[in-house]
Amino acid sequence: MPEGPEIWRAAARLGEVLDDRVVEAVEFTQPRLHNYGPVLSGSRVRRVEARGKAVVTHFDNGLYLYSHNQLYGRWYVRKRGQLPATARTLRAALHTAAHSALLYSASDIEVLDEAGLAHHSYLARLGPEALAQNVHWRDIAARLRDPAFAGRRLSSLYLDQHFVAGIGNYLRSEILFDAGLHPARRPRDLGRGDLGALARSTLVITRRSLRTGGVTNPDARASKLKRQGLSYGAYRHAVFARAGEPCYACDTAIRRETMGSRRIYLCPTCQPEA
């Protein structure tokens, strides 16, 4: 599933062709949304924004297009009249005079008014955005100390969008490795230094992924591995999807475990259980 950095990049691409532009035609392929096509056609897009793992498109007629990619959804931007080469199923199309924003394979799509947006079951429960520049590491540290979160294992907490929005499976593994914390630990058992380190890692790793197009390894390491001829998938992460390979910090074999029905990766030496 795309995580916050991927959704923020998608929203930015959409904004480049939709923000402050009139959508001449809007089409939906799902029958329950058909009637909204004529309602939105001819309106102007005020802005496109990412919220957690969702994209919200604001129209000047007071309506909003909400979409969550889930596992298979994907936005494409093309010159108008062109379609991507994909086997995915078209769900929504927004056409300006020059471009088309095309949403494929997503099933979680809604057209909302102001009240619907404010009370949306997903959006209303989002925690602070890890990628928002006005969010400070101290804000994350305060969340970690909050009794609502402090007693939970980090493995589950870091997939909860109510805790911090935009973090998913690969970011969870990379953040905990960067902070040197085992995923079974709980915030209430951590000292002040560990809490601060974890809060900082939460923002540093997530924002690095946004800046680099998904690379969570430090810049110097990623550049070195790339020069050695490794593929993007091979130099992208420190621990995620690297089971059995040596840790970059200590050479211990990276371990894959299952927590909360999701795979997670860790270094047993750099991330001791206690």
Active-site positions read: 2-3, 53, 262
Calpha distance 70→73 (Å, rounded): 6
Assigned token pair, 62:
């007071």
> How wide is the angle at C-alpha 14 spanned by C-alphas 213 and 122, nearest 5°?
85
For residue 37, how far is the Cα from the chain centroid? 28
> Which residues fall within 8 angstroms of residue 188, CB to CB, at 6 or more apart?
150, 151
Q: What is the radius of gyration, based on Cα positions, of the chain? A: 20
> Which residues face 67 on adjacent strands?
55, 109
Please say whether the dihedral angle defined by the alpha carbons of residues 125, 131, 134 and 135, taken in this order, is positive or negative.
Answer: positive
Let me know: does 154 contact 186? Beta carbons within 8 Å. yes
Calpha distance 96→115 (Å, rounded): 27
**Helices of type H across the chain:** 4-18, 36-40, 114-118, 137-145, 147-150, 154-157, 169-179, 192-212, 219-227, 232-235
Q: How many helices (H) and strands (E) does the chain have?
A: 10, 10
